[in-house]
């Protein structure tokens, strides 16, 4: 079901009033359409429900549908390595005895618990305090339980597995590690934010905000970070042009350092951080490159979303390797938000393995593109790819 622009705008206004969320229209369209389908009602009936006495409850359900909850222990290894090889030595060199961390958009808690375990090992003489926030009450309830399927250990390096306790089919975070994390329900755009943070970890949250909401969220992140403190965001989220931050690179990871606002304007490249390896390569940034980035398995280092400063009217997104649903969603969100875009082609021929979880992503993208007046096509010539499309009822427009 594709909602009208008026209905999407009305639902977006209610979300902003209720939870401070300001999301791209295509995401609101996709998630609200799913709720309407689940309730078996019309768009008009749904808007009436949101305005009724039961509206607050339904808005909470919609917020849960909107949240991006994919996470796992020790995800994004290059950034974890930068945490050990750059951040911890720098904080140790500064004589820090108490480390304050903000994990923003913490989902079910895997990221803040990973940070707690890594930092407690890397800085054994420091008091570690992590504030983990998320908008989702359901996600925070899971996080506070500090228990995950036993299979979650597969992603944990052997060196850190003693930070967990196996309990039948589940694995629990060791009590001394769990005690380092405090969970709070909070929106990145409003409410009280932590202050005086040595590290802010906010991955794959900013990509779902409108430009104005993204600006306000970044201002809050910068304000929360101490001068010389570190900020980590997702691979597809660049903060290179933010005045209060300097970008730097360690191996395959890009990170940011809070500038001293009273210091003279620094060079474009961040100065060396004590304990950091020599910077190599070019930090993530918007460039004039017009070729589509490749989406690969999230277990390998994915390249950033790189969009041209002047978006072309016709664009192509090529999927390679084993595309991950969350990464593809982020890529499509960025592509469909380009002003002036007339058509978008999703090329599946380079993918080695297409998971079933990608099918609803493509359906939502088609609905969003239709709403935005963008022609969306799927390119698939390989027999295996075409069979996958047919199995999921997505082969009508495949070329």
Strand order in the sheet with 197-202: 181-185, 127-134, 98-104, 197-202, 225-233, 253-258, 245-250
- Residue 154 shares a structural domain with residue 298: no
Of 205, 230, 258, the residue at which a domain comes to its end is 258
Residues 99 and 217 in one domain: yes
In 3D space, the residue among 386, 46, 93, 109 whose CA is nearest the CA of residue 228 turns out to be 93
Q: E strands of 72-150, at which residues?
A: 98-104, 127-134, 147-149
Residues 108, 131, single domain; the answer is yes
Residue at 266 is within a domain: no
pLDDT of residue 124: 92
pLDDT tens-digit series, residues 279-326: 333 332 222 333 444 444 444 444 444 444 455 678 888 888 778 877
Report how far residue 107's alpha carbon sits from residue 70's, in angstroms, rounded to the nearest whole number: 8
Residue 48 has pLDDT above 80, yes or no: yes
> Radius of gyration (Cα) for the chain, nearest Å?
22
- Measured distance between the N- and C-terminal CA atoms of the chain, rounded to whole angstroms: 23
Token pair listed for 105: 């958009």
Which structural domain, as residue segments, surrounds residue 44? 5-66
Phi, psi for residue 137 in degrees, rounded to 5 = -65, -40
265 in a domain, yes or no? no
- Give yes or no: residues 178 and 150 share one domain: yes
**Three-state DSSP class for residue 114:** helix
Which of 339 and 342 is assigned the larger pLDDT?
Answer: 342
215 and 91, same structural domain? yes
Amino acid 197: pLDDT: 96
Of 66 and 55, more confident: 55
| Shared domain check, 241 and 143 | yes
> Does residue 39 sit in the same domain as residue 82?
no
Number of helical (H) and strand (E) elements in the chain, helices listed first: 13, 14
32 contacts 46 by C-beta, under 8 angstroms:
yes
Q: Are residues 224 and 363 in the same domain?
A: no
- Contact between 23 and 15 under an 8 Å Cβ cutoff? The reply is yes
Q: What is the pLDDT of residue 121?
A: 94
Asked whether residue 399 is assigned to any structural domain, the reply reads: no
If one compares 4 and 268, the residue with the highest pLDDT of the two is: 4
- Asked whether residue 52 falls in the same domain as residue 90, the answer is no
- Which parts of 120-252 are beta strand (E)? 127-134, 147-149, 164-167, 170-173, 181-185, 197-202, 225-233, 245-250
For residue 285, being part of any structural domain is answered with no
pLDDT single digits (tens) 141-186: 999 999 999 999 988 999 999 999 998 999 999 999 999 999 998 8
Would the pTM of this model clear 0.85, i.e. be above it? no
More confident residue, 93 or 372: 93
Number of structural domains the chain divides into? 3
**Longest CA span, the chain:** 62
Residue 162 tokens, joined: 């003693």
Mean pLDDT computed over every residue of the chain: 81
């Amino acid at each position: 079901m594709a909602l009208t622009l008026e209905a999407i705008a009305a639902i977006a206004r209610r979300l902003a009033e209720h939870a401070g969320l300001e999301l791209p229209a295509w995401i609101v369209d996709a998630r609200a359409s799913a709720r309407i389908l689940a309730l078996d009602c019309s768009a008009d009936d749904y808007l009436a429900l949101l305005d009724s006495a039961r509206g607050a409850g339904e808005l909470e359900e919609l917020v849960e549908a909107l949240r991006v909850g994919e996470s796992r222990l020790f995800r994004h290894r290059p950034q974890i390595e930068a945490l050990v090889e750059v951040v911890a030595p720098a904080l140790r060199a500064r004589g820090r005895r108490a480390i304050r961390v903000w994990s923003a958009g913490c989902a079910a808690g895997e990221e803040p618990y990973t940070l707690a375990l890594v930092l407690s090992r890397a800085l054994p003489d420091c008091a570690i305090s992590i504030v983990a926030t998320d908008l989702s009450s359901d996600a925070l309830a899971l996080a506070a339980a500090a228990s995950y399927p036993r299979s979650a250990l597969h992603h944990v390096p052997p060196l850190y597995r003693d930070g967990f306790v196996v309990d039948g089919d589940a694995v629990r975070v060791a009590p001394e590690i769990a005690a380092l994390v405090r969970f709070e329900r909070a929106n990145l755009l409003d409410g009280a934010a932590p202050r005086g943070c040595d590290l802010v970890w906010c991955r794959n949250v900013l990509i779902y905000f409108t430009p104005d909401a993204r600006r306000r969220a970044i201002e809050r992140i910068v304000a929360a970070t101490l001068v010389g403190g570190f900020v980590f965001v997702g691979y597809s989220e660049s903060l290179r042009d933010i005045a209060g931050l300097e970008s730097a690179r360690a191996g395959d990871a890009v990170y940011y350092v809070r500038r001293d606002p009273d210091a003279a304007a620094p060079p474009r490249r961040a100065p060396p951080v004590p304990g950091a390896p020599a910077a190599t390569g070019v930090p993530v940034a918007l460039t004039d490159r017009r070729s589509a980035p490749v989406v690969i398995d999230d277990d390998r280092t994915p390249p950033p979303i790189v969009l041209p400063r002047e978006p072309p009217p016709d664009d192509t997104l090529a999927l390679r390797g084993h595309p991950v649903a969350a990464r593809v969603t982020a890529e499509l969100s960025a592509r469909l938000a380009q002003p002036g875009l007339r058509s978008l082609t999703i090329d599946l021929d380079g993918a080695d393995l297409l998971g079933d979880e990608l099918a609803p992503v493509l359906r939502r993208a088609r609905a969003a593109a239709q709403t935005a007046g963008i022609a969306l096509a799927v390119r698939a010539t390989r027999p295996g790819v075409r069979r996958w499309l047919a199995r999921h009822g997505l082969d009508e427009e495949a070329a």
